[in-house]
Amino acid sequence: MWAIIITFLRTWGLIVVLVAAGLAVAYRFVAPPPPQLLRIATGPGPDSAYARATQRYAAALRAEDFTVELVESQGSVENLALLRQGKVDFALVQAGVAVAAPAAAAQGARNSDEVRLVSLGAVFFEPVWVFVRRDSGRQRLQQLNGARIAMGPEGSGTRALALALLEVNAVSPDSYVASPLSGIQAAEALLAGQLDAAVFVAAEPGPAISRLMTATERVELVDFETRAAAYARLLPYVTPVELPRSGFSLALDLPTEDVVLLAPAASLLAKADVHPQLVSLFIRILQAEHRGRQSFAPEGRFPSALNPDVPLHRDAARWYQSGPTFLQSWMPFWVAVTVERMWVLLIPLLTLALPLIRFAPPLYTWQMESRIYRYYDDLRGIEEALPRAADPPARDALLARLNGLEAKLQKLSVPAAYGRQFYALRRDMAWLRERLSPRG
């Protein structure tokens, strides 16, 4: 009985080992798992919208057992450069930066393969707030020739957008002074008369914007209403958004009338070779973080495929069109990833397993029959020696060999399906014994 079990396990165990080995190789090289370490570029200062968003992303990723490294930066332009240099895996980048500052963004890139990026979707609007001094006589961007303008440091998305806005207004770079001041420093310098204009790009009014919004006697917020359509045509990555009357402060009635602002959208970018499962995970995180109502967008507006100046990842595009896959909707991330990876291996599994499964029954049959047929070699040897065994001692020696074979045969156990061959062997032994007898 144990011999039958051992033969069965030896046959099917070989098949299982071969299939498992093939799966292990395919699982490792055909569908590699997502990387455990993820590097994300943040933004200027811990209180920036980029920094707050990426910190929430990091917390969600760590909850899924990823190791996350946050890399500080000066803003969108530097984020784009870090991505293209391969120093980070993900970064929030202001729309238009890849177009408005391509040279700065590509600085340090070594070849075209290193600079291929994809977008996972836009996540929130970042309106541009342009404040000008009332006594400067410059209430439109076309009038900023010769002005002193605060537009943030090099490497910031604020400067990239400010330069683009001035360029489409035919304001020559040689005709104004670009100040690197930003935040509250820029606001105070504008109020003190050290600047003629200040540009801010912010999803929410911070201390600097709040300071200037309440100083209406000295500065005013530029309204883009009459030229919003023209700006949107010339700069396709900006969207006109409205700050309604009293939208900043009901108590102070600020602003005193509706104001139209121009707003690029911040998008989450990644390297082109980003793992597909990470794309799905990030979009789930973006949904959780940005789907709600925002200051300049209704609920459900983000995340989206809004005006991508970087190609949208194909899995992200499919997700925005059709939603998450069934497995990712109902399973934890790592369970869904494992099942999906195994699903990818289904075809190679069937390709390998089906021929082996078809080969197993003949292999098992050959092993069982060989346990019976190997006795015929000894029987043939006894039969061939029979003509030379003329005296009784020689015949007794052959008979002893036959008795030994029969003793072994008594211990042989075979399944009932092979009973015909088993009993045929016993009949052949009985026939040979008859020939060995003196009468034979």
Q: pLDDT tens-digit profile of 351-410?
A: 666 676 676 677 767 777 787 888 888 888 888 888 887 777 888 888 888 888 888 888
Name the packing angle between helices 333-344 and 276-290 (round to 10°): 150
Among 145-154, 205-214, 309-318, 387-396, which stretch is predicted with the lowest mean pLDDT?
Answer: 387-396
Q: pLDDT tens-digit profile of 109-120?
A: 444 444 689 999
Confidence of residue 144 (pLDDT cuts 50, 70, 90): very high
CA–CA dist 377, 387 (Å, integer) = 17
Beta bridge partners of 69: 39
Among 106-115, 276-285, 320-329, 353-362, which stretch is predicted with the lowest mean pLDDT?
Answer: 106-115
Confidence of residue 36 (pLDDT cuts 50, 70, 90): very high
Confidence of residue 344 (pLDDT cuts 50, 70, 90): low
Three-state secondary-structure class, residue 253: coil
CB atoms within 10 A of CB 209: 21
CA separation (Å) from 313 to 92, 271, 401? 15, 10, 78
CA neighbor of 128 nearest in space, from 215, 257, 235: 235
Q: List all residues 6 or more positions away from 342 whose beta carbon is below 8 Å from its beta carbon.
A: 27
CA–CA dist 203, 21 (Å, integer) = 53
Three-state secondary-structure class, residue 246: coil
Return the percentage of the chain with pLDDT > 90, whole number.
Answer: 47
CA–CA dist 170, 161 (Å, integer) = 14
Query: Rg (Cα) of the chain, in Å, rounded?
Result: 40
Residue type (1 letter), 124: F
Q: What is the pLDDT of residue 433?
A: 84
List of E strands, 235-361: 238-243, 259-271
Instruction: State the virtual CA torsion across 16, 20, 22, 27 in degrees, nearest 10.
Output: 160
- Rama region for 222: left / alpha / beta (φ>0; ψ in -120 to 50; rest): beta
CA–CA dist 364, 368 (Å, integer) = 6
* pTM given for the model: 0.69
Q: List all residues 6 or more positions away from 266 whose beta carbon is below 8 Å from its beta carbon.
A: 49, 50, 53, 76, 92, 93, 94, 95, 122, 123, 124, 125, 126, 203
Indicate if the pLDDT at residue 65 is higher than 50: yes
DSSP string computed for 172-216: -GGGSEEE---HHHHHHHHHTTS-SEEEEE-SS--HHHHHHHT-T
CA–CA dist 407, 104 (Å, integer) = 90
Environment class of 61 (CB within 10 Å of its CB; exposed 0-12, middle 13-18, buried 19+): buried
Q: pLDDT tens-digit profile of 420-431?
A: 888 888 888 888
Q: What is the pLDDT of residue 380?
A: 87
More confident residue, 231 or 331: 231
Among 149-153, 200-204, 224-228, 416-420, which stretch is predicted with the lowest mean pLDDT?
Answer: 416-420
Return the percentage of the chain with pLDDT > 70, whole number.
Answer: 81
Q: What is the pLDDT of residue 110?
A: 42
Confidence of residue 8 (pLDDT cuts 50, 70, 90): low
Q: What is the pLDDT of residue 179?
A: 95
Task: Give the pLDDT mean for 49-74.
Answer: 94
Indicate if the pLDDT at residue 262 is higher than 80: yes
DSSP string computed for 6-72: HHHHHHHHHHHHHHHHHHHHHHHHTSPPPPSEEEEE--SSTTSHHHHHHHHHHHHHHHTT-EEEEE-
Indicate if the pLDDT at residue 128 is higher than 90: yes
Confidence of residue 12 (pLDDT cuts 50, 70, 90): low
Three-state secondary-structure class, residue 92: strand
CA–CA dist 372, 409 (Å, integer) = 9
Q: Which helix (H) or strand (E) holds 125?
A: strand 117-125
Confidence of residue 107 (pLDDT cuts 50, 70, 90): very low
Confidence of residue 92 (pLDDT cuts 50, 70, 90): very high
Q: What is the pLDDT of residue 386?
A: 80
Cis peptide before 34 (omega within 30 of 0): no
Task: Give the pLDDT mean for 187-197.
Answer: 95
CA neighbor of 319 nearest in space, from 269, 272, 283: 283
Q: Which long-range contacts (CB under 8 A, 24 or more apart) does 68-73 make?
A: 68/37, 68/38, 68/39, 68/40, 69/37, 69/38, 69/39, 69/40, 70/39, 70/40, 70/41, 70/42, 71/39, 71/40, 71/41, 71/42, 72/41, 72/42, 73/41, 73/42, 73/43, 73/44, 73/155
Residue type (1 letter), 339: V
Confidence of residue 189 (pLDDT cuts 50, 70, 90): very high
Ordered by where they begin, the domains of the chain are 2-10+347-436 (no CATH), 122-344 (3.40.190.10)
Indicate if the pLDDT at residue 228 is higher than 90: yes
Can you say how many angstroms the Cα of residue 423 is from the centroid of all Cα atoms in its chain?
Answer: 64
Task: Give the pLDDT mean for 283-310.
Answer: 90
Q: What is the pLDDT of residue 328?
A: 61
Q: What is the mean pLDDT of the chain?
A: 84
Three-state secondary-structure class, residue 145: coil
